[in-house]
Amino acid sequence: MSDHPENNSAIEVQGLSKTYNVYVKKEGLRASVRGLFHREFKHVHAVAEISFRIQSGEMVAFLGPNGAGKTTTLKLLSGLIFPTGGDATVLGHKPWKRENAYRRRFSLVMGQKNQLWWDLPAQESFRLHKEIYRIEETAFRKRMDELTDLLEVRSLVGQPVRELSLGERMRMELIAALLHSPEVLLLDEPTIGLDVVSQRRVQDFLKYYQAERKITVILTSHYMKDVEALCQRAVIINEGEIKHDGPLAEIIDRFSQNKVIELQFAGSEVPQELNSFGNVFDVSPPRAKLEVPRARIPEVFTALLSKFDIEDVAVQDRPLEEVIAEMFTSSSNKS
């Protein structure tokens, strides 16, 4: 668990676990018949005793590969499923008690699941949410006008949801999730499948809305552009366990052993012997990139300048998405 003060926590998770018993089906007719009477199960630990704390008004990235336990954790925090062990509170509520008082204070948006009625205009689904959450008419109208303007979809609310593009549908999903002004927003892959323009619109909206309303947000995403644009802290989970909890900027320092030197050579060629200094990649003469261990940067930098005629040079960290992908790969190889 990260070192955050406890007095202003919106979400507290302590030793939370979720284990599924999965039926093991064997091949062959004889095995199938035997399975009717003597079933074999294996235990799958989707979440294994994780602990973390999120402050009120914080926006935190919750990262991990497919099957790491991200969605399971969000389902636990939203009360959709019950834990096998451990404890959690969100805004002082135990989510799996499913109290109406809690349901009015949070929202869950899942990029791969719709909450809007497919054949009806979005405004009809918004009206249904108004009744479910007992939103007063004036407040409802004000919030809907504000959100549709911010997300640039006011002219589309009367159109059947099935006729909207994926990006437009996701913006409508966000409006539905925010109509009752939740204090906690759980976002599971909100930009999955969206084009670059739609991703940017969703990012800009979330950044603005969170800063204005100071709501608490947990964001899962495979798009590192989302994470870098919106979050300063990341919790990384893999195989049901937390591998990192801290500032986003620390991930590269902690998990990447290399840096990248970007070079532009005088003339039109990249020297053949450049590979003796490190791993050469992304060659586009007269430019090339060189991956070098962090500890060797001063030595290699000096040697390059003395040996070659270089017009421009820059030292960069490796992209965040590469470092995180490498973390997941190395972790799975060890298991």
335 pLDDT more than 60? no
pLDDT for res 128:
95
* Banded model confidence at residue 332, pLDDT cuts 50, 70, 90: low
- 3-state DSSP of the chain: CCCCCCCCEEEEEEEEEEEEEEECCCCCHHHHHHHHHCCCEEEEEEEEEEEEEEECCCEEEEECCCCCCHHHHHHHHHCCCCCCEEEEEECCECHHHCCHHHHCCEEEEECCCCCCCCCCEHHHHHHHHHHHCCCCHHHHHHHHHHHHHHCCCHHHCCCEHHHCCHHHHHHHHHHHHHCCCCCEEEEECCCCCCCHHHHHHHHHHHHHHHHHHCCEEEEECCCHHHHHHHCCEEEEEECCEEEEEEECHHHHHHHCCEEEEEEEECCCCCCHHHHHCCEEEEEECCEEEEEEEHHHHHHHHHHHHHHCCEEEEEEEECCHHHHHHHHHHHHHHHC
Mean pLDDT of 119-147: 95
331 pLDDT more than 60? no
Dihedral sign computed on CA atoms, order 266, 267, 270, 276: negative
For residues 324 and 170, the model is more confident at 170
4 pLDDT more than 90? no
Task: Say what percent of the chain tops pLDDT 70.
Answer: 92
Mean pLDDT of 61-85: 92
247 pLDDT more than 70? yes
Model's pTM, two decimal places?
Answer: 0.80
* Pairwise CA distance, residues 122 & 151, whole Å: 14
Query: Which domains, and CATH codes, for the chain?
Result: 9-250 (3.40.50.300), 257-317 (3.30.70.1150)
3 pLDDT more than 50? no
- Nearest to 167, CA basis, from 144, 197, 147: 197
Encode pLDDT of 206-235 as tens digits. Answer: 999 999 999 999 999 888 888 989 999 999
- Token pair listed for 169: 């549908």
- Give the chain's mean pLDDT: 89
For residues 333 and 147, the model is more confident at 147
pLDDT for res 33:
65
Q: Out of 2-6, 126-130, 155-159, which region has the weakest mean confidence (pLDDT)?
A: 2-6
